[in-house]
Each structure stands twice: as C-alpha cells, then as structure tokens.
C-alpha cells in the first residue's frame, strides 16, 4: 500500500510568482485536505476536496486554490506569492464519505516553500 506522497520536496520562489504543489493520496482514499504549517506553529487548514469538489475551506484568501483529479490526486495553487506564504504545506488523505469526523487523515511529508 502506497502512502501519501507530495512533490516537490522543496521550492524557492520570489514574491508575486505563482506555485503549484502536488499530492498523491493513499490508495483507497477519496478525500484530500491541505494544510499550511508556518515555522513553530501547528498546521492550519486551507481546504478539502472530496471526489473532485471542494468540501470545505479555511480562512485563506482566494489566491489559494486547488484541484482534485479523478484518481483523487490533488494540486494546491498559490497565486501572487507573498513573503508570509513561506511555510511547510502538508497534504492529508482520508477514506470514506467527505472525510467525515470519523475519518483519520494521513499526512504526506510536505513541501517546504520559501518565498523571497
């Protein structure tokens, strides 16, 4: 069974650029959630996708957007990068209906984004 994978591992961008981060969910999982973890903080929920539709969103501006594909892999896109976007971006997948409150989320290793 393959776990959650993310690419790239590290990324350096400059302010104003756009970035796409990728996540492959664990086999059998149909829900993907994205989190932003600033240095020294706990992860903050960005949004969640279930069967290719957005299922919920945290307190992040519209320049944070996402996609989920038929194979349940997912992308996180961030436009007009700001210095404060520098963080570890974590993807988590879960099984069952809409990643409900009973469903454990399994995390990938994350993508470290640095915005200069």
Partner 1 sequence: AQTVTQSQPEMSVQEAETVTLSCTYDTSESNYYLFWYKQPPSRQMILVIRQEAYKQQNATENRFSVNFQKAAKSFSLKISDSQLGDTAMYFCAFMTNSNSGYALNFGKGTSLLVTP
User: Could you list the residues that contact partner 1 (CB under 8 A)?
Assistant: 33, 35, 40-45, 47-48, 55-58, 88, 90, 92, 98-110
Identify the bridge partners of residue 77 per DSSP, sorted by sequence position.
20, 65
Cβ distance to partner 1 smaller for residue 15 or 51: 51
> Which of 76, 93, 88, 80 is CA-nearest to residue 17?
80
> Which of 41, 6, 21 is CA-nearest to residue 115?
21
101's CB contacts (< 8 A; 6+ apart) are: none
Cβ distance to partner 1 smaller for residue 16 or 97: 97
Cβ distance to partner 1 smaller for residue 35 or 64: 35
Cβ distance to partner 1 smaller for residue 19 or 48: 48
Smallest distance from the beta carbon of 9 to partner 1, in angstroms?
10
**Residue indicated by tokens 């959630």:** 33
């Amino acid at each position: 069974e393959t776990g959650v994978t993310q690419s790239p591992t590290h990324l350096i961008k400059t302010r104003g650029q756009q970035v796409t981060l990728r996540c492959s969910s664990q086999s059998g999982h149909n829900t993907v959630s994205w989190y932003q973890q600033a240095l020294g903080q706990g992860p903050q929920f960005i949004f969640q996708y279930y069967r290719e539709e957005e299922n919920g969103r945290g307190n992040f501006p519209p320049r944070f957007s996402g996609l989920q594909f038929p194979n349940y892999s997912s992308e996180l896109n961030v436009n007009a990068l700001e210095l404060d976007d520098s963080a570890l971006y974590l993807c988590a997948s879960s099984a069952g209906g809409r990643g409900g409150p009973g469903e454990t989320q399994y995390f990938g290793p994350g993508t470290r984004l640095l915005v200069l």
